[in-house]
Amino acid sequence: MRYFKKEDTVLIGYLLPNSIVNINIIDLDTDEPIPLLKTTCVESVNVPGLYRYSTKNIDRTQLEDRVYNLFYIMEDEAGNKTYGKFTLGMEEENVLDNIKDTLIATKDTVDVIKNIEAGTWIMEDGELKFYDEDERLIARFELQDIYGNKTMRNYVRRIRVE
Q: Give yes or no: residues 84 and 9 share one domain.
A: yes
Contact 131, 121 (CB under 8 A): yes
Q: Give yes or no: residues 15 and 73 share one domain.
A: yes
Residue 132 CA to its chain's centroid (Å): 35
Domain residues for 121? 93-160
Contact 66, 89 (CB under 8 A): yes
Q: Give yes or no: residues 154 and 109 share one domain.
A: yes
Task: Report pLDDT digits (tens) over 101-122.
Answer: 788 888 888 888 888 888 999 9
pTM: 0.54
| Count of domains forming the chain | 2
Task: Report pLDDT digits (tens) over 35-88.
Answer: 999 999 999 999 999 999 999 999 888 888 788 899 999 999 999 999 999 888
Q: Report the sign of the C-alpha dihedral through residues 72, 73, 76, 81, in that order.
A: positive
Closest CA to 69 of 126, 14, 30, 116: 30
Q: Which of 61, 90, 119 is the last residue of a domain?
A: 90
Q: Give yes or no: residues 73 and 108 share one domain.
A: no
Q: Is the pLDDT of residue 144 over 70?
A: yes
Q: Give yes or no: residues 61 and 121 share one domain.
A: no
Q: Give yes or no: residues 98 and 136 share one domain.
A: yes
Name, in order, each residue with C-beta under 8 angstroms of 154's C-beta and a sequence gap of 6 or more: 145, 146
Q: Give yes or no: residues 129 and 77 share one domain.
A: no
Q: Which of 90, 117, 142 is the last residue of a domain?
A: 90
Q: Give yes or no: residues 86 and 103 share one domain.
A: no
Name, in order, each residue with C-beta under 8 angstroms of 145's C-beta and a sequence gap of 6 or more: 151, 153, 154, 155, 156
Q: Is the pLDDT of residue 97 over 60?
A: yes
Closest CA to 70 of 31, 36, 42, 38: 31
Q: Which of 71, 90, 109 is the last residue of a domain?
A: 90
Q: Give yes or no: residues 8 and 62 share one domain.
A: yes
d(CA 115, CA 100): 23
